[in-house]
Structure 1
Amino acid sequence: MAHKPEVFLKGKYKIFFGLNNEFRICYNDTRPLTDNYWQSVNPVVKLVPTFMLQLTIIILFSRVLMLFLRPLRQPRFVAEILAGIVLGPSALGDISWVSNNITPFETVLCMETLANLGVTFYMFLVGLEMDLTPIRRIGKTALSIAIAGIILPMSAGAGLYYLVWEKQKQRAPFIGAFFWAIALSVTSFPDLARMLSDLKLMYTDLGKTALTAAAVCDVSSWFLLVGTISLINAHEKLHVAIPVILSMTAFWFMMRPLIAWLMKQAAASKETSTEGKYSDTHVCLILSGVVFCGYITELCGAHSIFGAFMFGLMIPSGELGTTIMDKIEEYVVGILLPPTFLVTGSRTNLLYMFADFPLGVALLVILLACSAKIVSTLLVCLYFKCPKRDSLALGVLMNAKGVLVLIVLNEGRNMKGFDQQTFSWIVSALLIMTIIICPIVSFTHKSARHLKQYYHRNLEKSKDAPLRFLVCVYSTRNLSGLINLLQISNATRRSPITVFAVHLVELTGRATAMLIFHDKQKEADVGKNATREKAEAEQIVSAFESFENNNHAATVQPLTAVSPYDTMHQDVSNFALDKHANIILIPFHKQPSADGGWTDENLQHKQVNQNLLASAPCTIGLLVDRGLTSSVCAESQNGWRECGIAMLFVEGPDDREALAYAWRMVGTPGLNLTVVRFLPGKDVYDMSENAPEDDESGIFTAMFEREKEKQFDDDYVNEFRFRTMHDKSVAYIEKQVNSGDQIVSIVTSDYNNFDLYIVGRGHGTISPLTSGLSNWSDFPELGPLGETLVSTDFESPTSVLVVQQSAPPPSGSKRFRSSAPSTGIFGNSMQSAVDTFVNHRRSDDDY
């Protein structure tokens, strides 16, 4: 076991009692004086170059470590705290040259002062970004997790500190137990939000529960920290907390109305301007308010971070908050905050972690500190009978630590509540807590084994079960077609539908993605001062609420998803998984023009659509809307106007899925469905028989797969015909064709007067009937038949819905299913009898 250093030399420094609360450092420093007794060497000029060098090195080290840790899915906080530890006495700081020239002791006060300024502005950004609205509607599970996540970790922190306090009471008073307790109860809200965004769990129920509980933990921990610091500074006299409480109350009830008045004046002055409402002057006033609020709380005996945090909470979300975040966030996080990590690293010495205690005791303390919050969350989740994987993931996520906990620890160190050894223990524990989050959550919620059970949530297998739609809307121009498509989806009390209407917005000017759930009970707030984005979001919400009011068997949950375009498809897919959606509806990336052509092509929306088609965990439908709103489900004086829908069936799982969706529409008032099935003609069979013999094994494999898929098609089509044979609104037609050109010719000549065409995308299957159509492709996301229909010149432009079954699961399974789809009342043993029955009912081409 190592022994604590009593006195040692490090370059020009002589250090006494290196592990204790108080260091005595002796060094020679020549300060020549002039005749008027002023120093001839300005100390600021001497310290500033050293500080600039330190800042440069800590930022460089952080960036390099981020590059190495990013593939391991570690957050930025881990890289930054490790950079501080590397530059501290645990590694490079133990080298005399480094301690003399890069991290000299005389720059400590300068570094700590700038670190305090950095954390003050950082806490302002935390308050600005934190939304307390979910706390008002917090559920029992989230509230119970938050309460247990405060009580049990605080008890564990105080108990663990007391466990080692007897042996080190000369170096660290018992007040350190309070800071250990608060540090273990903190869940860093901003860092947790960034982790959930990186893990693509922000939009899930797990993510919402974790964020809500984290907000409660953070607010409660800050109140506890304010009380602790105030009592310690006033030697445990309760009345000293009164000025802090009064200042916080004054901030909330006096400055908050003032900010609201300034925002109103700014909105009035920019009423007719196309530019933003808030100028640099407004931003400077807000930043000055941060410093002023921090100064007031310092005078009251608390830290400046509390005033800054409260000031951030007082600023309402909207354009002002976004403008401030855009202008200062990167500067605060990238420049002002790194000194905090350097100060923390200089106070952490991993070399002497086991100097006074056996290795087992120290490791036990660290392990129990790491597990306190996990155990408390698991107990609550077990009580509410949550799934085990969600319970474990939630417990680990609630252990997320960040800059907030460093502030708590450094305050405890400043008040001599820790010695260097116990400070190093708790820093090591919080590092371990944060490092294990992404690997464990990725294993529980991102592994292929977990995702397999959620894939293939298809309409073909849903039958008459309630449907869950995830409808993606890029702008208000997508509304009419998608809503009318939902209206003809035949929502009934027996088979209701649930619609998650997601307004997809590009992430700009924020560090993390976010999800906004709109309160349907709240009156829409769209006025002349509303931003364009907010007005568009409210218009989308209003349209879907109107759809819900007119359809009593439909339930709508409107929300806005803010995410980068590059990863937007992952957010949509994860939300579909979490909500067990059966189908995702997305709009085409082009808008129709008045002359029947196309306009306003959005390549970013096109990329999102293609990414979704490649990775969607359920059925996905891509709607090409060319006037669906004016022709479908129009109610006239004589009743419902008839509208025609054609489903063009070729072969394969996508076509079966398209037929399943068309089948669900049957029963909608005024809707007539015509299913046209194209069967291979004699020439197609002749081409297969006359194929070259050099690849005989490949031919037999393709023939086997085609026959298997044909059997699946026959089973499903026959079930559809059997169940709809008495329905006069359904017609079934079969046509024999030998090429894709014949399909186009038949559709344009005989079936060119429908309001909507539904086709399968045919992704992953090679059909001889459509092979000629796929030689050229401008829109591969539509499939060969869908793209042909969109480009075909009908008498009037028609809408097309392209349907694709779920993409293969992450394990890499092949597109061809190894098991037959659900065939309902038909089994293989009954197939010949059914064929006989159907053939008897068929007259030539029409049924």
Structure 2
Amino acid sequence: MMGSGTAANKGVRPMASGLKNYYVKRGLEKEFEVCFLDNRTVGLTQWQATSPLMTYLPSFMVQLTLIITLSRLLMIIFKPLRQPRFVCEILAGVMLGPTFMQNLQQVAIYVNKPEGVLLLETMGSLGVTFYMFLMGLEMDLTPIRKMEKTAYSVAIAGIILPGFAGMILYRLVKIDQEDAPMEGGFFWAIALTVTSFSDLARILSKLKLMSTDLGKTALASAVLTDLVSWILLVATIAMVNGRGNVLRIIPTLIFMLLCWFVIRPLLFRMIKRIGAEREDSLSSSSSSMEGQCSDKHVGFILTGVLFCGFITELCGVHPMFGAFMFGLIIPRGEIRTKIMDKIEEFVVGIMLPPVFLVAGLRTNIVFIAAGYRYWLVATVIIVASLIKIISTLLVCAYLRCSFRDSLALGVLMNTKGVIAIIVLQEGRNVKGFDQPTFTWMVLSIILMTGLVVPVVSFTHKSTRHLKQQHRMNLERSRPESELRVLACLHSSKNLSGLINLLHLSNATRKSPIVVFAVHLIELTGRASAMLILHDKSETNDISSNPIRERAESEQIVRSFESLQNDNRAVTVHPLTAVSPYATMHEDVSNLAIDKHVSVILLPYHKKPNDIGGWEDQNLEYKRVSQNLLANAPCSVGILVDRGLTRHLPLESQHDQIRKIRIAMLFVEGADDREALAYAWRMGANPRVTLTVVRFVPGKDLLESVADDDDADLDVFSAMFEKEKEKLLDDDYINEFRFRTMHNQFITYMEKPVNSGDQIVSTITSAHNDYDLYIVGRGYDRQSPMTSGLADWSEFPELGLIGDTLISVDSLMSASVLVMQQSPPVAALANPRVSQKGNTSGSNKGFSSDHPFVSHRLSNP
């Protein structure tokens, strides 16, 4: 048997000493032939007759184990540098190649054997085929139809300039070689042109830039660039296989037309019928049949991938193109999500690593300049790494975009992925690359992709909004000004309470309310987070969500639309946010910054049980709430709904006369002032009676403070801060009393207390007949008036007073709204632990001032 490879250097015999089973024969230039005996020797072990490492499949298993293990190890090592998975996998392939481990005799004999390359390449080709199918599933062509000037300008420049640069570099490298194939320059050009859409989407999602102008511009440009690069690659491969015959492209074009105009409509009909059957089975509670139908059709789709790949192989191009085209024509819907859930991790984690190992075996950094001058090596790597950035900077300079945004966009367009490795592999197969030039391009790809996240993180820091001197909250806004609210819901069970709270928030023409109603859905089976705006004028695709979640989103949209129809002073923008629970608070915070909201309203993550206690609906809901309390860029309100909706909407004449009774319990601090600000706004509602109860230090408490003689510098500093807070409280209370003095439905009173027990007794005896209590959470507050309450506090998210209100049996029918004012800038710049087990981290914000394309998520 014989195998072929590439020598490390001109005139150097690549046979290592001690490899007596192989005979290496020089060929033309850097080519050589490896001859070996395929002798099935008898093994010395008791397990089987032949040595397991002398056959191809066990050797492939060893290779696969090593590449997966090493790539996972590198992902852990490079996690602090926030490097994408692709960089770690290609580095793992290089480390297992001739640069490092291949020079070890045991590795060369038992792991990376020349005769095992064929099986490795075959499995890699199969992995690439299914990976390109997933890439087609993931790609959305909608941004192309809505591309603005900046997006398509960047895409066109990113195709033309890198393309010409690749051709020039190829001619520069091959100028002394008469046998250099003409088509080789096209592979150089395509390798520099391509931008990996899927890898870019993951990076933007990780950086929380997906829904910014920058992210949308980059994604739209990447889609167009990918499609053009893909078409050029298919045409080039067809011409190479047809030996320059342009007519060899015609069968591939016919296949494309058949897919788009014949197979695609048939798939639409089939999936529409499946959806109707599932709706029927769901209504009849036949969930098991639904799962069986899904599995059956997923198997049919996966068979179609192999068939389309076979057809394109007959047409003279790689099977991966047929798989990509088949994935592209599958309609967006649950079938896409289910397919990705079933095979994505297997394809990416198991079937794709052989591609990186093959690329690593063809990369040798030791002989990077074999036969070439060092200045040429440096020129190629530098030009290849910078040409995309330069083209983007030129376009953005012409469009007068800021340099910071232009640089970030150029670096994002430099994102490479598996498709770039595929281009290099195909180019090497037609001798467009030899081993040194292949190594140059691999290093360029690693350099380009590895710098994306660090550079963009530096240019678009998530804490940029912290430069604001004032955080968004209600205390600093006038009660009659516009109120911008971000209402978050995990399910329709939270719907009625939040909507009726907004009903009571006094939306008028002079003080309108803008509500961004966000249905929060856990990310499962998708490559990146997504944000969907439900627009009446357009048909939004939320079909990628499962049926129950889609129906829930539709119910939430209809309910908030009813809120807007009931009161024209309320403007509602319903959205659906799909992201992992671990980073869901970042998406909410980014949206709050982008929409300039003053308060985020959340439902409480617990629900009452049958014995008067509380039980968690979902522990992940608690995690989201805690993260928002620690990191939100504006005020946060948590609603514990226990009957607020009993009289909303009105059902009888008695309900029309009865007013909603609201009590605001004021202790001290910024959170209580924020709670008073929201209560102040609600107090102007003609259907509300508001009672503000301020607890002040009693006589005994004042005397105990005066008798404390052990004051030191820290105590004096704390006393100064408390006195400062007290002045702010007095000023705000006095302003509230002055401006509401003529409102007969607003009552103010003060209650002296000496401990937390007296607060509880005062509430239960004199203020126990209200429909809604509004209190401040008391962020990091230590007050003598609440002493004793912390000893039995069970729910720190609600603060001491909120915890007390939901724990007292006599108040079981009352709802509670707990307000927390946005932490000060200094607190976010130097994070502290806001509660046990929850540390505040840095905020990742939407960029709201990018000079790029406008989009439908811009501020209304």
Q: Of the candidates 526, 529, 551, which is equivalent to residue 535 of structure 1?
A: 551
Partner residue, 2:468: 453
1:652 shift after superposition: 0.6
- Contact persistence 2:534–2:540 (CA under 8 A): no
2:26 matches 1:47: no
1:267 shift after superposition: 4.9
Larger mean Cα displacement after TM superposition, 261-270 or 289-298: 261-270
Aligned residues: 805
How far, CA to CA, are the matches of 2:813 and 2:148 in structure 1?
49
How far, CA to CA, are the matches of 2:760 and 2:94 in structure 1?
69
Partner residue, 1:393: 408
Larger mean Cα displacement after TM superposition, 760-769 or 671-680: 671-680
* Within-5 A mapping of 1:684-699: 684-691=701-708, 693=710, 696-699=712-715
Query: Secondary structure of 1:567's match?
Result: helix
Q: Match of 2:327, as an amino acid?
A: G
* Within-5 A mapping of 1:433-448: 433-446=448-461, 448=463
Partner residue, 1:325: 340
Q: Match of 1:274, as an amino acid?
A: S
1:657 shift after superposition: 1.5
Query: Secondary structure of 1:470's match?
Result: strand
Q: 1:282 to 1:449 in 2, by over 3 A?
A: closer
Partner residue, 1:677: 694
Q: Of the candidates 105, 108, 111, which is equivalent to residue 120 of structure 2?
A: 111
Q: Of the candidates 374, 378, 383, which is equivalent to residue 359 of structure 1?
A: 374
Which structure is higher in RCO with an 8 Å CA cutoff and minimum separation 6? 2
Q: Match of 1:218, as an amino acid?
A: D
Partner residue, 2:234: 226
Cα RMSD for the two superposed structures:
3.4
1:118 shift after superposition: 0.6
How far, CA to CA, are the matches of 1:240 and 1:671 in structure 2?
77
How far, CA to CA, are the matches of 1:28 and 1:598 in structure 2?
73
Larger mean Cα displacement after TM superposition, 318-327 or 662-671: 662-671
1:383 shift after superposition: 5.2
Sequence identity percentage: 57
The TM-score, its normalising length taken from structure 2, stands at 0.86
Q: Of the candidates 306, 314, 318, which is equivalent to residue 303 of structure 1?
A: 318
2:595 matches 1:579: yes
How far, CA to CA, are the matches of 2:309 and 2:469 in structure 1?
50
Encode CA deviations 1:525-571: one digit per residue, 9 max, x unaligned.
999x9711211121112222332344434433322222332332233
Query: Secondary structure of 2:411's match?
Result: helix
Partner residue, 1:486: 502
* Within-5 A mapping of 1:776-791: 776-791=792-807
The TM-score, its normalising length taken from structure 1, stands at 0.87
Q: Match of 1:369, as an amino acid?
A: A
- Contact persistence 1:526–1:535 (CA under 8 A): no
- Contact persistence 1:455–1:617 (CA under 8 A): no
Q: Match of 1:542, as an amino acid?
A: R
Q: 1:408 to 1:609 in 2, by over 3 A?
A: same
Partner residue, 1:410: 425
2:89 matches 1:80: yes
* Within-5 A mapping of 1:348-747: 348-382=363-397, 386=401, 388-446=403-461, 448=463, 451-453=466-468, 456-463=471-478, 466-522=482-538, 531-592=547-608, 598=614, 601-631=617-647, 634=650, 642-691=659-708, 693=710, 696-747=712-763
Partner residue, 2:69: 60
* Within-5 A mapping of 1:122-271: 122-167=131-176, 169-170=177-178, 172-264=180-272, 266-267=274-275, 271=281
* Within-5 A mapping of 1:257-296: 257-264=265-272, 266-267=274-275, 271=281, 272=284, 273-275=286-288, 276-277=290-291, 278-296=293-311
How far, CA to CA, are the matches of 1:696 and 1:487 in structure 2?
51
How far, CA to CA, are the matches of 1:377 and 1:630 in structure 2?
58
Q: 1:386 to 1:634 in 2, by over 3 A?
A: farther
1:476 shift after superposition: 0.0
How far, CA to CA, are the matches of 2:408 and 2:650 in structure 1?
49
How far, CA to CA, are the matches of 1:733 and 1:617 in structure 2?
32
Q: 1:306 to 1:3 in 2, by over 3 A?
A: closer
Encode CA deviations 1:653-683: one digit per residue, 9 max, x unaligned.
1111112222333543433433222222222
- Contact persistence 1:626–1:799 (CA under 8 A): yes
Q: 1:346 to 1:241 in 2, by over 3 A?
A: same
How far, CA to CA, are the matches of 1:128 and 1:334 in structure 2?
18
Q: 1:545 to 1:213 in 2, by over 3 A?
A: farther
How far, CA to CA, are the matches of 1:507 and 1:609 in structure 2?
17
Q: What stretches of structure 2 of length at least 5 have no aligned partner?
A: 1-6, 42-48, 835-860
Q: 1:312 to 1:813 in 2, by over 3 A?
A: closer
Q: Of the candidates 13, 37, 41, which is equivalent to residue 8 of structure 1?
A: 13
2:813 matches 1:797: yes
Query: Secondary structure of 2:520's match?
Result: strand
1:814 shift after superposition: 7.6
1:354 shift after superposition: 2.5
- Contact persistence 1:585–1:622 (CA under 8 A): yes
2:360 matches 1:345: yes
Q: 1:558 to 1:733 in 2, by over 3 A?
A: same
Partner residue, 1:843: none
- Contact persistence 2:191–2:420 (CA under 8 A): yes
How far, CA to CA, are the matches of 1:530 and 1:165 in structure 2?
54
Q: Match of 2:792, as an amino acid?
A: W
- Contact persistence 2:167–2:188 (CA under 8 A): yes
1:810 shift after superposition: 3.9
Partner residue, 1:313: 328
Q: Match of 1:540, as an amino acid?
A: I
How far, CA to CA, are the matches of 1:525 and 1:510 in structure 2?
15
1:765 shift after superposition: 1.5
How far, CA to CA, are the matches of 1:388 and 1:521 in structure 2?
35
How far, CA to CA, are the matches of 1:525 and 1:697 in structure 2?
62
1:261 shift after superposition: 4.2
Larger mean Cα displacement after TM superposition, 631-640 or 663-672: 631-640
2:830 matches 1:812: yes
* Within-5 A mapping of 1:13-24: 23-24=31-32
Q: Match of 2:829, as an amino acid?
A: S
1:688 shift after superposition: 1.1
1:81 shift after superposition: 0.3
Larger mean Cα displacement after TM superposition, 402-411 or 127-136: 127-136
1:101 shift after superposition: 2.9
1:45 shift after superposition: 8.0
Encode CA deviations 1:68-88: one digit per residue, 9 max, x unaligned.
112221111111101111112
Q: 1:519 to 1:589 in 2, by over 3 A?
A: same
- Contact persistence 1:633–1:640 (CA under 8 A): no
Query: Secondary structure of 1:461's match?
Result: coil
1:651 shift after superposition: 0.8
Encode CA deviations 1:581-616: one digit per residue, 9 max, x unaligned.
322111001234689764564322122212221222
1:772 shift after superposition: 2.4
How far, CA to CA, are the matches of 1:554 and 1:237 in structure 2?
65
Encode CA deviations 1:744-770: one digit per residue, 9 max, x unaligned.
333333333333221110011111112
Q: Match of 1:195, as an amino acid?
A: I
Encode CA deviations 1:87-136: one digit per residue, 9 max, x unaligned.
12222223444333321222222211111111000111111222333443
